[in-house]
Amino acid sequence: MQTIDNYNFKNKKALIRVDFNVPLNEKFEITDDTRMRAAVPTIKKVLAGGGSVILMSHLGRPKNGPEDKFSLKHIQKHLEELLGTPVQFADDCIGESAVKAAADLKPGEVLLLENLRFYKEEEKGDENFAHKLASLADVWINDAFGTAHRAHASTAVIAKFFPNDKLFGYVMQGELESVDKVMHNPTRPFTAIMGGSKVSSKIDIIMNLMDKVDNLILGGGMTYTFKKAMGGHVGNSICEEDKLDLALEIMKLAEEKGVNLVLATDTVAADAFDNGANTQIVSSMEIPDGWEGLDVGPESIASFSKIIEQSKTILWNGPVGVFEMPKFAVGTKAIADAIVKATTNGAFSLIGGGDSVAAINQFGLADKVSYVSTGGGALLEYIEGKELPGITAIRGK
């Protein structure tokens, strides 16, 4: 199989689908460039091999054609800094300016195309649009893991125009290797920590993990749906009343499959959803009226940490408290610390999902775990066992 490592890029134009969908502030400054930094090795590999690079990406979700706030020109300068080389910019992705800039591109040069989603054909997976993109280059590299769950023109449909010249980039390779290691070949014990606000948004993953993990730690807002289902009193805590039966079903399934399902036993309850709220530590089964659980308590932190530190494979998705407020970030920080400790002792740890990645970055611990995914929705769908169009386009079914 052709890979980015054995492909001969000499004098070839490589069209790389990257996920440069980075957050920008009101001054159009990049507030988190993780996805851009991740793409650098693939770009450098092509350049070092004597090829030229044409980068294409979406940014945000423009709905009505070109709009300055969604223009990729906002990231051009920072990309030049990351690559240490000039980056040309075409103000279109398929029109005359793109065609001319691509045709004039010399080995060693980099061209960034304008936002793909300025054309509705991108999200529609339009074949003619994909063909126009494909005509710009000799080889297509998909390195947009964060967008691999979208069957769009540039992420999937375009593959048919490169039957012998389609490759995964290093981001894709790294993500797939990490998830496969965790999901198909875990060293045991394997512990998954699932947090976040609702059980309904995590149910498919929980079910898929049930056949694979030894320990399943459930934290965050979803805890209270379980506690209520068990006959507890959850006060004002977030709780999905229509998912009580589902919670009981999950507990029963865990028992049948021999999975050690671990829920918080104590909770940091607050009298308001506010960093300045009054707090008290209470049993997760007995949260007083007028109070809501916003973080796990010290007893839960101790039991979660012990399990995590003894694990050899760890998957973490979703904060176990409202970590955006410092007062309720203690549990999530403790999880991160335990994962770092386990990793230092030889465990393989994969962190993914928008908010858990934001949390690990906020704590400055991203480089102390084995792998931090660049995918949010894409990673979750992959862990759920779904087929991702951006992967199938290259690997086949």
Ligand X SMILES: Nc1ncnc2c1ncn2[C@@H]1O[C@H](COP(=O)(O)OP(=O)(O)O)[C@@H](O)[C@H]1O
Ligand Y SMILES: O=C(OP(=O)(O)O)[C@H](O)COP(=O)(O)O
Residues that bind ligand Y (CB under 6 A): 19, 21, 61, 146-147, 150, 354, 376-377
Q: Considering the complex, what minimum distance in angstroms separates the CB of residue 354 from ligand X?
A: 4
Q: Please, which residues have CB within 8 angstroms of residue 263's CB and are 6 or more apart in sequence? A: 218, 219, 223, 226, 227, 284
Between residues 91 and 324, which has the closer beta carbon with respect to ligand X?
324
Residue nearest to ligand Y (CB): 376
Q: Is 331 in the site for ligand X (CB under 6 A)?
A: no
Q: Is 221 in the site for ligand X (CB under 6 A)?
A: yes
Which of the choices ligand Y, ligand X, none does residue 150 contact, using the CB cut-off of 5 to 8 A by kind? Answer: ligand Y
Between residues 154 and 225, which has the closer beta carbon with respect to ligand Y?
154
Diameter of the chain measured on Cα atoms:
70
Among candidate residues 35, 132, 212, 228, the one labeled active-site is: 35
Name the DSSP letter for residue 74: G
- The one segment of 119-127, 177-185, 274-282, 352-360 that binds ligand X by CB under 6 A: 352-360
Q: Is 297 in the site for ligand X (CB under 6 A)?
A: no
According to DSSP H, which parts of the chain are helical?
34-48, 76-83, 96-104, 120-124, 127-134, 170-184, 203-209, 223-229, 244-257, 298-309, 330-344, 354-362, 377-383, 389-395
Q: Is 62 in the site for ligand X (CB under 6 A)?
A: no
Q: Give dist(CA 130, CA 151) in Å, integer.
A: 12
The single-letter code of the amino acid at 150 is R
Q: Give dist(CA 20, CA 173) in Å, integer.
A: 17
Residue 300 and residue 330 in contact, taking contact as beta carbons nearer than 8 Å: no
Q: Is 346 a catalytic residue?
A: no
- Flag whether 59 is marked binding: yes
Phi and psi torsions of 33, nearest 5°:
-100, 20
Question: Chain-centre distance of CA 290, in angstroms?
Answer: 35
Q: Is 294 in the site for ligand X (CB under 6 A)?
A: yes
182-201 footprint of ligand X as x/- string (CB under 6 A): -------------xxx---x
Count of CB atoms situated within 10 Å of the CB of 336? 27
- Flag whether 354 is marked binding: yes
Between residues 62 and 321, which has the closer beta carbon with respect to ligand X?
321
Between residues 59 and 294, which has the closer beta carbon with respect to ligand X?
294
Among candidate residues 12, 181, 198, 312, the one labeled active-site is: 198
Among candidate residues 49, 73, 354, 368, the one labeled active-site is: 354
Q: Give dist(CA 383, CA 220) in Å, integer.
A: 19
- Candidates 356, 373, 378, 382; binder of ligand X (CB under 6 A) is 356
Name the DSSP letter for residue 139: E
Q: Is 198 a catalytic residue?
A: yes
Q: Considering the complex, what minimum distance in angstroms separates the CB of residue 249 from ligand X?
A: 20
The residue length of the chain stands at 397
306-325 footprint of ligand X as x/- string (CB under 6 A): -----------xxx-xx-x-
Q: Considering the complex, what minimum distance in angstroms separates the CB of residue 296 from ligand X?
A: 8
Compute CA distances 253 → 209, 308, 353, whole Å: 11, 22, 25
Tell me the DSSP string of 309-337.
HT-SEEEEES-SS-TTSGGG-HHHHHHHH
Among candidate residues 12, 44, 341, 377, the one labeled active-site is: 377
Q: Is 377 a catalytic residue?
A: yes
Annotated binding-site residues read 19-21, 35, 58-61, 117, 150, 202, 293, 324, 353-356
Q: Which residues bind ligand X (CB under 6 A)?
A: 195-197, 201, 220-221, 238, 293-294, 317-319, 321-322, 324, 353-356
Annotated binding site for (2R)-3-phosphoglycerate: 35, 117, 150
Supply the residues annotated as catalytic: 35, 198, 354, 377
Binding residues for ATP: 202, 293, 324, 353-356
